[in-house]
Amino acid sequence: MIKSRALAENTKDFAEKFPALLYKPLGKTGFTVSACGFGAYRIDFRVKEHFEALEYAISSGINLIDTSANYSDGGSEVLIGNVLEQMINNGKLLREEIVIVSKGGYIQGKNLAAAKKMKEDGVGYRDVTEYAENIWHCIHPDFLRDQITLSLERMKLETIDVYLLHNPEYFLDSPLAKDLELDVLRHEYYSRIKKAFTYLEEEVKAGRISYYGISSNSFVKSSDDPVFTSLKNCVDASNQISEDNNFYVVELPLNLYEKGAITHKNQVGDTFNVLEYAYESELGVLVNRPLNALGAEGLTRLADFPVNDELAKLDETQIIAEINLLDLMEEEFLKEHLESLELSDKNKEAVTNFMKAGQLLKENWKGFGTIESFNDLKKQYLIPRVNFALTTLISSKGLTDEMKEKLDKIAKQTNKLMSIMDSLYGLLANVNNKKLHVKLNTVVDAADANSFSELSLSQKAILFINSLKEVSCTLVGMRQQKYVDDVTGALKAGALIDAHEKFLEI
């Protein structure tokens, strides 16, 4: 177990090692944190690149890590524990220098399987929101107790520095909510939050957490939205427990397109926005999704995309020829060799269905719409299926050298087409993003930040958020070392003058 916890003086000492980077106070916790934190949403201990990226981020000056029990079904927390343990044991880091934020509330994956079994056995958790078949939610003390225990074990920690209730508004949007009047629903909602806070105060006294709070996407909604979460009501609930309570941190979404945290006056009779009220309450504010804007047309990635100029120059005839080549290679391999390999009927069927990248691209390559849509399909559907087919075939009995050579060519052609699609849709995204670049460069005086116009789009988007005095830390996914470099570049740019006004001009 990693002893101790984050301490104010040590986090300040850590910041002084990196004078070129921007650090800010985390509300009234006393912690000094890097203005960008390591968002651990999609990291997993099974991926070496993620381990190296987190170690690199800490070594580069990042001293806040944000995770949750449900990220990678616990795999995110395991990786964090492994990195901290190695760096501390090697004398590269003091536990007291780094702020660990984790969250609880979602019941998914292994948690969901266990919760369903408990329910069948008549000993299930209380106050569970059965939101959908594959997602339940709960902030009852019994569930939080188990989640904190598991999180501490996975991260090998004695204490979690900040523990957040994770999107409790699921209750407001659940099937149960449809059967209740809004006033009744909201009364029950804040009663559940107060009950959770009361329990979390016990965890603070026990030393398993230092501070607590809420991460909610609905802090930024209009006050008349049925799913709105009032920060004032949460602060009131904590004060009813004790004026000396430990409700110190909130987390919410904000980016260049989703500006509800600034534009919606939704607190204290709609006289303050949530950032203003959090600042007046001396709460630390963590911002999530700074680069992933959700709108009516789906996800927009606020970043520049790498483009291979040679591939981007290919005309439609050349692209179709490359796709047809892959389709032919896959079709011929299945026709000539599948039956001669020793595969189960189930695996034969899977390989037949999955080795269809060429066919899928032939039918859809013009219709992916955006780079974000293509990346989602590639990561969640196309690549996993292709990898399964190739891995199954390569490991099967009866595979000859000739077959291996053909599979290698199929893999290379698949990768080439992925690069073509990346460049094609990346180029389209960059063309659209150029308008945003121009707008941002117009809004920001060149003297406001170090070479602002030369920053990447992601750096500009991060800098806008970091420059708000109410925001303590912007959480950014940094699964690769190049993303860490991009983030630290933004931290070296300083802060914009009159950031709030500039945000409203975009």
| Cβ atoms within 10 Å, residue 363 | 12
- Which residue range(s) make up the domain with 66? 8-102+142-301
Q: Which two structure tokens, joined as six digits, stand for 151?
A: 């999180």
Give a yes or no: residue 389 inside a domain: yes
How far apart CA 124 and CA 50 sit, in angstroms, is 35
**pLDDT the model gives residue 124:** 86
Question: Rounded to whole angstroms, how far apart are CA atoms 298 and 295?
Answer: 5
Burial class (CB in 10 A: 0-12, 13-18, 19+), 117: exposed
Domain endpoint, select from 367, 394, 428: 428
- Shared domain for 262 and 390, answered yes or no, is no
Closest-CA residue to 35 (of 20, 50, 13, 49): 20
Entry pTM: 0.89
Q: Are residues 88 and 186 in the same domain?
A: yes
**Domain identity same for 93 and 205:** yes
Q: Look at residue 170 and tell me if it is in a domain.
A: yes
Decide: residue 107, CB within 10 A, 0-12 exposed, 13-18 middle, 19+ buried.
buried
Same-domain check for residues 296 and 241: yes
Task: Please name the helix (run of DSSP H) or strand (run of DSSP E) that holds residue 466, with its range, or none.
Answer: helix 457-466
CATH number at residue 182: 3.20.20.100
- 335 domain residue, yes or no: yes
Phi, psi dihedrals of residue 106, rounded to the nearest 5°: -75, 140
Query: How does DSSP assign 132-168, residue by residue?
Result: ETTEEE---HHHHHHHHHHHHHHHTBS-EEEEEEE-G
Domain final residue, candidates 383, 403, 428:
428
229 and 173 housed in the same domain: yes
User: Taking Cα atoms as reference points, which of 379, 372, 334 lies closest to residue 356?
Assistant: 334
Q: How confident is the model at residue 455 (pLDDT cuts 50, 70, 90)?
A: very high
What pLDDT does 298 receive? 77
Question: pLDDT digits over 396-410, tens only?
Answer: 988 999 999 999 999
What CATH number is given to the structural domain containing 382? 1.20.120
Distance CA 499, CA 289 (A): 18
In angstroms, the CA 220 to CA 232 distance is 12
Residue-level pLDDT at 222: 95
Same-domain status, 372 and 422: yes
SS3 at position 398: coil
E strand residue ranges, 292-428: 292-295, 298-301
The average confidence (pLDDT) of the chain is: 94
Write down the pLDDT at residue 450: 63
Q: In the 8-state DSSP scheme, what is residue 455?
A: S
Residue 396 near residue 342, CB atoms below 8 Å: yes
Instruction: Give the pLDDT mean for 232-257.
Output: 97
Is residue 316 a part of any domain in this protein? yes
User: Among 120, 252, 129, 114, which Cα is nearest to 189's?
Assistant: 129
Q: Do residues 248 and 385 both lie within one domain?
A: no
Q: Do 44 and 171 belong together in one domain? A: yes
Q: For the chain, count helices (H), then strands (E).
A: 19, 17
Residues 91 and 213 in one domain: yes
- Domain contains 214: yes
Helical pair 481-491 and 48-59, crossing angle rounded to 10 deg:
20
Cα(56)–Cα(59) distance, integer angstroms: 5
pLDDT value of position 372: 84
In the chain, the number of structural domains is 2
Residue 296 has pLDDT above 80, yes or no: no
Query: Do 270 and 389 belong to one domain?
Result: no
Tell whether 243 is covered by a domain: yes
pLDDT greater than 70 at residue 215: yes
Q: Which of 275-284, 359-368, 468-477 shows the lowest per-residue confidence on average (mean pLDDT)?
A: 359-368
Residue 500 burial (CB count, 10 A)? 16
Residue finishing a domain among 405, 428, 451: 428
Res 434: pLDDT: 92
Q: State whether 13 and 162 are in the same domain.
A: yes
> What contacts 24+ positions apart, CB below 8 Å, involve 446-453?
448/496, 448/497, 449/493, 449/494, 449/495, 449/496, 450/492, 450/493, 450/494, 451/493, 452/493
Whether 367 and 251 map to the same domain: the answer is: no
Any domain includes 183: yes
Give 76's pLDDT tier (boundaries 50, 70, 90): very high
